[in-house]
Amino acid sequence: NEFAKIYEFEDKEGGGVIALEEGWRPIIADFDGDGKNELLDIDTRVRNLGDGDYWQRQSFRIWHFHDRKLKVLGTGPSWESINRRKGQWMNGFRVGNVDGDRNIEIVASVIEYTNGGVRGHIKVLEYNGRGFTEEWQLVSNFGVLIWGIADTNGFGKNEIVAESGDGKILIYYCRKVARAREVSTPSGKQGEVLIDDR
C-alpha cells in the first residue's frame, strides 16, 4: 500500500490543532445533511492577563474540505472564563441524533462559575448548514459531564447519559421537538432567526 498526503493545515492563530482526551476529540460526520462529511472541533483561545490570571474562550467550528483546502463553514456559540473560576467553560461534548429527526446534534456540557458556586448546563445544538441552533438546554445546580448518547432503553431513540457533580447518573430523552433559536451564523454576523417547526 502507498499513501500520499493531500492536505496539511496549521492553525497559526489558535496555537495548533490538538486532539485531546475523549470528549474533546474532533468529530467527522455529516452535520448538515448534504451527504458530505464535515469536521467539528473546538477553537480554544488563551490570553495571559498577568499576575497568574488567564482568559480563555472556547467555541465550536465546523470545517469542510473544498477545492483542496480546509475551510471553516461556521463557528460558535462561545464560552469565556477567567482561570476557570469566572464565566463559563465547556466541559466536553458528544454527538448523535437525540431527537429522532435524523440530523446529528451536538450535546455539550458547560460549567458556569457564579458567586454562589457552580451551575451545570447541558446544551443540545444542531448545525443546519448556515449556523448553529440551540434546541434544548438544561440548567443544574451542579456541574455535569456528558458520558454518551445511546439508546439505553431499547425504544429506538437515543438518550443523553450524563453524570452530575453530586454523584448522580442522569438520563434524558427528547419527548417533544421544540422550536430552535439561532446562536451563531457562519460569518459571525447577526442573521435571521431560524425556526425549526419539525
Model pLDDT for residues 12-63, shown as the tens digit of each residue: 555 555 444 445 678 888 888 888 888 888 888 888 888 888 888 888 888 8
Q: What's residue 190's pLDDT? A: 29
**Cβ–Cβ < 8 Å for 163, 171:** no
**Cβ–Cβ < 8 Å for 142, 120:** yes
**Contact partners, residue 143, CB within 8 Å, separation at least 6:** 91, 109, 111, 118, 119, 120, 164, 165
Chain Cα centroid distance, residue 122: 10
Q: Quick check: helix, strand or coil at residue 178?
A: coil
Single-letter code of the amino acid located at 148 = G
Q: What's residue 180's pLDDT? A: 53
Q: What's residue 24's pLDDT? A: 63
> Order of strands across the sheet with 38-50?
27-29, 38-50, 53-66, 69-82, 86-96, 105-114, 117-127, 132-140, 181-182
DSSP classification of residue 182:
E
Which stretches in the chain have pLDDT values below 50?
18-22, 184-198
Element (H, E) at 66: strand 53-66
